[in-house]
Amino acid sequence: MYPFVKTKLKEIVIFQNVNKTFGEKKILQNINLELETGKFYCLLGPVGAGKTTLLKVIAGLEEIDPGGHMNFKNQEFSQMSLWERNAAMVYQNFVLYPHFNVFENIASPLRARKLAKNEIKSKVQSIAEMLRIDKLLSKRPRELSGGEMQRVAIARALAKEADIYLFDEILVNLDYKIREEMRPELRKITQGQGRMVIFSTSDPVDVLSMGDKVIIMDQGEILQFGNVGEVYEYPKNIRAGKYFGYPEMNILEAMITDNNNQIQLEIGTQKQTLKVSIHLMQFI
């Protein structure tokens, strides 16, 4: 837990019939969600699922189509300034100020708030230690590795002390060892902080390692939303189950018939009588 952040009351972000089109192409289709601060949400889906667009909509970088509504802190998002939304976003292709050293990159949002020098120093040091970049504070971005630069970008976002953190595929360019190290560090962000984290990824391992809840998206639609363990064990449909699997779920063509309350499963030449259950009936 960051020592300088007070625990906040829970707030809810509500999406009602949110759509986003570019020209004739639908990027987001009928998004309905309720998300609360203090949770780590993983937004899971393939390239082109609409994940980045959804994050940009939340950040205020894209407007939604007429007819949809987004509400936060009992206000319409469209009526809130970027400052009032208090969201911080880190992209897959992050950008650092090349003429600043690591300390100044992290401190930039704090200086914008005109905090005292000793307060800025304390906060930068605390965040840098948490992300294990405290020994790099005097270095310039050109002297850092890709993994180190990504940590600096994350640290700068954390320094903002936002209500909502939006991470867009931020681990995808890191090697596997660094990704493993970063997952527990990122997971600490919400612990006791009353913050909301929405972490976009195409890797189910990220979800299983970090997420409280998962939002599975494909082609602009939400396939399933719920607790990570629940969604993993009981996918709503084949598309959700196949995508959120580790290892990937095997799909077999089968014939299911109901004869006098006897459910029979036929796969190729094999036949098996099954017991009826709620979860089985969802697929019949």
The answer for residues whose C-beta is within 8 angstroms of residue 206's C-beta and 6 or more apart is: 42, 44, 171, 183, 199
Residue 277: per-residue pLDDT: 61
DSSP characters over 204-268: HHHHHHH-SEEEEEETTEEEEEEEHHHHHHS-SSHHHHHHS-SSPPP----EEEEETTEEEEEET
Q: Is residue 68 part of a domain?
A: yes
Asked, for residue 6, whether it belongs to a domain, the answer is no
* Whether 132 and 29 share a structural domain: yes
Is residue 132 located within the same domain as residue 192? Answer: yes
Q: What is the pLDDT of residues 101-132, one digit of tens each?
A: 999 999 999 998 889 999 999 999 999 998 88
pTM of the complete model? 0.84
The one-letter amino acid code at 36 reads E
156 and 127 in a single domain? The answer is: yes
Q: Is residue 2 part of a domain?
A: no
Q: Note the pLDDT tens digit of each residue in 33-43.
A: 999 988 999 99
4 domain residue, yes or no = no
134 and 237 belong to one structural domain:
yes
Residues sharing a CB contact under 8 Å with residue 146, sequence separation 6 or more, in sequence order: 173, 174
Claim to verify: residue 228 and residue 119 sit in the same structural domain: yes
In a shared domain, residues 237 and 257: no
**Predicted pLDDT of residue 54:** 96
Note the pLDDT of residue 217.
96
Per the structure, how many domains does the chain have? 2
pLDDT of residue 281: 47
Q: Kindly state whether residues 268 and 213 are assigned to the same domain.
A: no
- The reported pLDDT for the residue numbered 1 is 41
Residue 114 lies in a domain: yes
For residue 279, the model assigns a pLDDT of 53
Domain of 259, in residue numbers: 253-284
Name residues of the chain where pLDDT drops below 70: 1-9, 190, 192-193, 276-284
* Residue 270, domain member (yes or no): yes
Burial of 284 (0-12, 13-18, 19+ CB in 10 A): exposed
If asked whether residues 173 and 234 sit together in one domain, one would say: yes
> Is residue 248, in this structure, part of any structural domain at all?
no
| Inside any domain, residue 7 | no
Q: What pLDDT was estimated at residue 205?
A: 93
| Structure-token pair, residue 88 | 């911080």
- Domain with residue 171: its CATH number is 3.40.50.300
121-135 residues labelled b (16+ CB within 10 A) or e (exposed): eebbebbbebbebbe
Report the sign of the C-alpha dihedral through residues 252, 257, 258, 259, in that order: negative
